[in-house]
Structure 1
Amino acid sequence: LPGVTDVLVNGPNEVWIDRGDGLERAEVAFPDDQAVRRLAQRLATAAGRRLDDASPYVDARLPDGCRLHAVLPPIAPRGTCLSLRVPRRRTFTLDELVEAGSLPPEGAAWLRGIVQARLAFLISGGTGTGKTTLLSALLGLVEPANRLVLVEDSGELNPHHPHVVRLETRPPNVEGAGEVTLRDLVRQALRMRPDRLVVGEVRGAEVVDLLAALNTGHEGGCGTVHANAAVDVPARLEALGAAAGLGREALHSQLAAGVDVVIHLVRDRTGQRRVAE
């Protein structure tokens, strides 16, 4: 369906979609839960992944770029649950985001200044607040001569820029071998002469290598992170760093020295995505 960003199947008679204005019930139904299960398994197979009683959940990227997540019973006791995140096919400019009400004109000027000054920044917010959309728009403002190296779980960023190099993670195969993590990719990206290192979503041990890079001459690095408010970002990164063995004091000192700006997005009760702080 045109404009749909998310498809959520909670059961054969409960399908929800999001067109960007909040969730709405779709007039779609499956014959029974087995039909939902078969669809989820076909999609998992298309993504080169396994979904069965021995591996009852999957998180994968489909060949067309859609992000797939599925869970089978009994992990999902009411029946198979299926979630699809549809990547936006077009990239919005900062001016278009102003027209859409996502930020005021003076906010757009401030964001342009951040990019032009080569400040390191993180975009924070909850799920579906438009972090990837805003990051793509800001990357489109980077000087054309700059080399952007994007590190992502799945290729959601789509900046209008002439020099973009993409690196994407790879899950382990059915034997559990061959995994390539975001942390692996951040380390590889640093050897590829990036003018701007971009991490699509900071959510694991890669925070250690990203902060180290931002503190050793890699100006203008950026990424997104899940957080409920800008003030919560240090605590979120602290938790990620602790899991990777980085102490609280070390992380806070690197964060303070390496990250210049946090841009926080929210989605209000009407479904409008906007820059809050």
Structure 2
Amino acid sequence: MLPYARAALAAADAVRETLADFTGLLRGRVTFGLVSCGTGHAFDVAGLLAGFHTAHPAVEIALTEDTSARMLAAVRAGELDIALVGLAEPDPPAGLSLRLVIDEPLVAAVAADDPLAAGSGPLPVAALRDRRLICLPRGTGVRGVLERICAGAGFSPQVAFEAAAPQLPAQLAARGLGVAVVPALSEAAAAAFGLRTRPLDEPRARGRVTLAWRTEGPASPAARALLDVLRDALPVPADPHPM
């Protein structure tokens, strides 16, 4: 009887959600995944979620912060309704729809006395061979891009420090602990850390953050409404690169 009972409960939930949708009163629960760098960028995710909660107080929002790889898998499996994630691969994962939010070149950031700081122009990826690197952890979009471009240059990156906090790689590099591979820093930000930055001479070296959801769309009206809010409010890169 258990499968029938579960089916009956699911049907009852669907009826309640449909009635709420028609009456304009959203109810239910939305699961939203957020990559670490999404909290420190120019757009205000916390403000968007707070505004949605004010407009729809009967909707419960469950927020998860994890690596991009695990959150993409969770969206595909239906465990997350929506996620803001870093993308490592050039092609979108099967079964998911994406909306690009951030698209920035990756740079090598080093202390002012590092030999790489004396050069000018783009830095060949091969120059990172045998250097102690500082990057985001495995499973993040930036780390996946670093591993892919290094493999294309014929070597495996020697990542000495992994840091999930967005600013920590730059802080470690400024203290001479290695070369940080991070999304592009403004001149003011690099100067504040005491860093010199050089773009990588590889067009695929991009830090990209995307909004992700199942191609067929979130199941609940509440999740669909939040997705609409995020798609309308989050920025679109001025010159997005093909995914």
TM-score normalised per structure 2 = 0.33
**Rg larger for:** 2
Query: Which of the pair is proportionally richer in helix?
Result: 2
Q: Higher relative contact order at CA 8 Å, sep ≥6: structure 1 or structure 2?
A: 2
